Amino acid sequence: MAEAAAPPLLRLGLVGSPNSGKTTLFNALTGLRAKVGNYPGVTVERREGTARLPGRAVQIIDLPGTYGLEPMSPDEAVVSQVLEGKLADVAPPDALIVTVDACAISRSLGFVAELVNEGLPTCLVLTMTDELHARGGKLDLERLRAALGIPVLSVVGHRGIGLEALRQLLPRPSEWERPPIPPPTDAEERHAWCESVLERVVLRAPGRDPWTERIDRIVLHPLGGSALFIAVMVLFFQLIFAWATPAMDAIDAGMSALAGAVHGTLPAGLLADFVSDGLIAGVGSVVIFLPQIMLLFGLLYLLEDVGYMARAAFVVDRLMARIGLEGRAFVALLSSYACAVPGIMAARTVPSPRHRLVTILVAPLVTCSARLPVYALLIGAFVPATTVWGGLGLQGLVLLGLYVLGGVTALIAASVLSRFVVGHASLPFVLELPPYRVPPFRLWLAQVWSAASAFLRRAGTIILLASIILWGLLTFPRVEAPVGASPTEASRYALEHSAAGSLGRAIEPVIAPLGFDWKIGVGLVASLAAREVIVATLAQVYAASEEDGTSLRKAIREDVDPRTGEKVFTPATVASLLIFFVFALQCTSTLAVMRRETNSWRWPAFAFAYLLGLAYGASFLTYRIVSAFTT
């Protein structure tokens, strides 16, 4: 007997407003197994995951958060376009799962009515019902189901409450209840319909969260909130250095030991040099900074999940308005602290095309995680690990200063660009402030691990490929050292006459006014692929010219120019290099996303040029000023 054919793949669209618990429900259903991509033709992130449900596998499509089907921004427009089948290569869902915060049902009922009128089988999932009950609220789910004519379930996703009933319901949307009379489509009639439904189902409205109110009196205060924001940022960067240093030192020692073991095991020659100086020194020099990357994302996700980041956006909205942007732009710029790529993608939430363009052009100035290995290397090597101002670490304060410099410059650049690109009109900024919540540890850990995995994949792909290419450029052509040269002198001679050395010598006259030598020049060229590649480049340069096992921080501290006998990395050079990386746009991925977002190479070329000019000018001034005070 032939086996019964498997049922066709069922596609369920997950729809809801921001902060409605949609992402938590998606993760609970799919087990955090998500496929991330972009919708064809638009750079708006979509997530798809497979849920193993009774009787069949179901594909869950997590659509962008929106408050209605009449969009204000491109990411919101994606929802209606997907439901109507207007996006190429994206099949419309077979049914809808609508998430609604039980504490905010009055604000969401009109959107639910819009979705029901789309004609697809629809079920309503009320989230955060535990919070509703904690705040004294009460809903009658049976009356709500009868009023809407669709299935209604209560779920607390991070605790697993109600998930089993939802899993039993989802595989059979053809059996779901359908409203005998759809909700009215006219706005005025729909409003009256919503009011009548709410009168029947809301038995007791939830009170305001007293703790949220008390905390917000400080967090949202014009002066107190600003002072708190500064304090949070200072503590943030202090912890990045203080907590990560022991783990970084351990990884550094392990990489040095591994390189030494390779030289002790393999016969001397190209293979040993390739494994030790090319692979271990190149990739390992970046992997050392994994603890700081994990701390950076761990703290960012914690502040976001707790509910603080939304309030930080609210506090600075007035400042954003003064420079010609709005709070939505600040949310996009906040995303750029992780990486400019999702930050630029997040600019799609900005309704005005001109405001969106300015946000895209200044997003690379926000200090992303790719700059952290560069900053950590130079600060760790040259800034003393001393405490100042009541026990605050000097290294953390310098790191904070670099982040502040990038952020302030982004705001200044936005103000300047707005005068020429953006008019004075601006849409009102609407931002929902979620109640303070303690994020589920498993979800927070999964977010941090996802970021760490992305960093390791980057180290295993882009940086690995760059390390292999750089090793070849640093090794060939093979040249004979002058007779009588010591082993160290022979290594330096071969390095200077390699293909990479010739490239560095060619651009040295251009970068010499910034205090950079040819070695740094090679790193700057390599870092056009990705900023952190300069760390891998310097690691290979010094692995090829110094003793085995010498750490990169020690090597750059002790490097001496054989022509002058002076240190290569002087205080002026270090400061100039840090400032260069604050401003320069050294990331091909960012340029590619800019191209997709603006549909032209004109704006990516403009961004690259103006940021390179800014970086060169600022580095030149920094080098001259610091040199004047240190010589």
pLDDT in tens, 547-568: 545 688 989 999 988 888 899 9
Q: What pLDDT, on a 0 to 100 scale, did the predictor assign at position 1?
A: 43
Which tokens in the block code for residue 278?
């090319």
From 135, 124, 31, 16, select the one nearest 76 (Cα to Cα): 16
Residue 566, Cβ density class (10 Å: 0-12 exposed, 13-18 middle, ≥19 buried): exposed
Residues contacting 486, CB < 8 A, separation 6+: none
Q: Report, as an integer, the average pLDDT of 6-11.
A: 77
Confidence of residue 615 (pLDDT cuts 50, 70, 90): very high
Confidence of residue 4 (pLDDT cuts 50, 70, 90): low
Whether the pLDDT of residue 3 is over 80: the answer is no
Q: What pLDDT, on a 0 to 100 scale, did the predictor assign at position 44?
A: 55
Q: What pLDDT, on a 0 to 100 scale, did the predictor assign at position 312?
A: 80
Q: What pLDDT, on a 0 to 100 scale, did the predictor assign at position 6?
A: 60
Whether the pLDDT of residue 38 is over 60: the answer is no
Q: What pLDDT, on a 0 to 100 scale, did the predictor assign at position 315?
A: 78
C-alpha torsion 580→586→590→592, nearest 10: 140
Whether the pLDDT of residue 262 is over 70: the answer is yes
Q: State the architecture of 10-207 in CATH terms.
A: 3-Layer(aba) Sandwich (3.40)
Q: Report, as an integer, the average pLDDT of 51-60.
A: 85
- Alpha helices in 363-486, H assignment, sequence order: 372-382, 394-421, 441-460, 462-475
Q: Report, as an integer, the average pLDDT of 399-406.
A: 94
Of 325-329, 507-511, 563-567, highest mean pLDDT: 507-511
CA dihedral sign, ordered 487, 493, 495, 499: negative
Residues contacting 207, CB < 8 A, separation 6+: 135, 136, 137
Q: What is the chain's mean pLDDT, rounded?
A: 85
Residues contacting 71, CB < 8 A, separation 6+: 77, 79, 80
pLDDT in tens, 146-181: 999 999 999 987 677 889 999 999 999 999 999 988
Whether the pLDDT of residue 242 is over 70: the answer is yes
Confidence of residue 503 (pLDDT cuts 50, 70, 90): very high
From 469, 482, 450, select the one nearest 536 (Cα to Cα): 469
426 and 72 Cβ atoms separated by less than 8 Å? no
Residue reference for tokens 């009215």: 184
Domain range annotation of the chain: 10-207
Distance CA 575, CA 630 (A): 12
List the strands of the sheet with 34-38, edge to edge.
34-38, 45-53, 56-62, 10-16, 95-101, 122-127, 152-155
Q: What pLDDT, on a 0 to 100 scale, did the predictor assign at position 446?
A: 80
Higher pLDDT, 425 or 320: 320
Distance CA 586, CA 563 (A): 30
For a pLDDT cut of 90, what percent of the chain falls above it? 35
Lowest mean pLDDT: which of 19-28, 379-388, 518-527? 19-28
From 316, 432, 415, select the one nearest 66 (Cα to Cα): 432
Q: To which H or E segment does residue 203 belong?
A: strand 202-204
From 153, 128, 156, select the one nearest 141 (Cα to Cα): 153
Residues contacting 211, CB < 8 A, separation 6+: 436
Whether the pLDDT of residue 402 is over 90: the answer is yes
Q: What pLDDT, on a 0 to 100 scale, did the predictor assign at position 365?
A: 95
Q: Report, as an integer, the average pLDDT of 594-604.
A: 90
